[in-house]
Amino acid sequence: MTDLTGRRALITGGARGLGLQTATTLAARGAAVVLADIDADAGADAAASVPGAHFVHLDVTDDASWEAATAAAVDALGGLDTVVNNAGIEISDLFVDLDADNARRILDVNVLGTALGIKHAFRAMRPGGAASVGGVIVNVASVAANIAFPGIAIYSATKSAVVRLTKVAAAESGRLGYGVRVNAICPGLVPNAMGAQLAGDMERLELFPSAGEAVTAVVGLTPSGRLATEEDIANGVAFLVSDTAAFVNGHSLSVDGAMGM
């Protein structure tokens, strides 16, 4: 198990799901963690369930909110060397029914939210920043960045964008000597709240007769023959955060049972 003792991490979308599991996993390996989320009630409850964790309110689409949240994280943890840009939303639509407001919202949270997260992580962690020790950013993309599945066009586009943001950020960090590695992780379908919503969408859009049959189709497209667990994904994040991955940079790590190969 990778040792993360002494690491100081901010995890967005930490109130539930993959963000909460990531915070739990990083904390179990010795990291001090701040959970950041737009849902203050759930976020505070989540932080209470993770040993030593703090909660800060954050809307990832809002620059000022990021400024305040990173300052609060540096203050609470006495520094900052890890940011996991995990917050994201999923809205499915067929092209023929594409809703422009929904599309703008998902682009805002998944793409702009991740880009602002990179901005504020760099500003805090680069030389002269509030934390100033370099570090690691992990951006949560999706298997959807690597496949073409009906009904999730805009979601897939946002996750492909997250992978590309990651690579440009790694290049910029290297060029400007920030000392920050930047990687992405591409999780396969996880049967949690978002996974269930996605499966339900497939039935609602009449792409599959039922949510269960949509899930069966995903498993059928997955060489490892099962869905992902939240632990699978959090373990992948822990690897990318750790010094074991010291020369892994600008990479997009698929944790999807080879569905997206």
Please give the residue ranges that form the binding site for ligand NAD (CB under 6 A). Answer: 12-13, 15-19, 37-39, 58-61, 86-90, 109, 113, 140, 142, 187, 189-190, 192-195
Q: How far is the CB of 18 from ligand NAD (least distance, A)?
A: 4
**Catalytic member of 55, 122, 155, 178:** 155
Q: How far is the CB of 142 from ligand NAD (least distance, A)?
A: 4
179, 72 Cβ separation under 8 angstroms: no
Minimum separation from the CB atom of position 176 to ligand NAD (A): 27
**Cα–Cα distance for residue pair 166/144, rounded to 1 Å:** 16
**Smaller CB separation from ligand NAD, 138 or 190:** 190
Closest separation in Å from C-beta 230 to ligand NAD? 8
Contacts of 30 (CB under 8 A, 6+ apart): 3, 4, 5, 6, 7
Which residues make Cβ contacts (< 8 Å) with residue 114, sequence separation at least 6?
Answer: 60, 85, 139, 162, 165
Decide whether 127 or 212 has the Cβ nearer to ligand NAD.
212
Of the two residues 80 and 228, which places its CB atom closer to ligand NAD in the complex?
228
Q: Is 178 a catalytic residue?
A: no
Name which of 79 and 113 has its Cβ closer to ligand NAD. Answer: 113
Strand ranges of the sheet holding 32-37, from the earlier edge strand across to the other edge: 54-57, 32-37, 8-12, 82-85, 135-140, 180-187, 252-255
Residues with a known catalytic role = 155
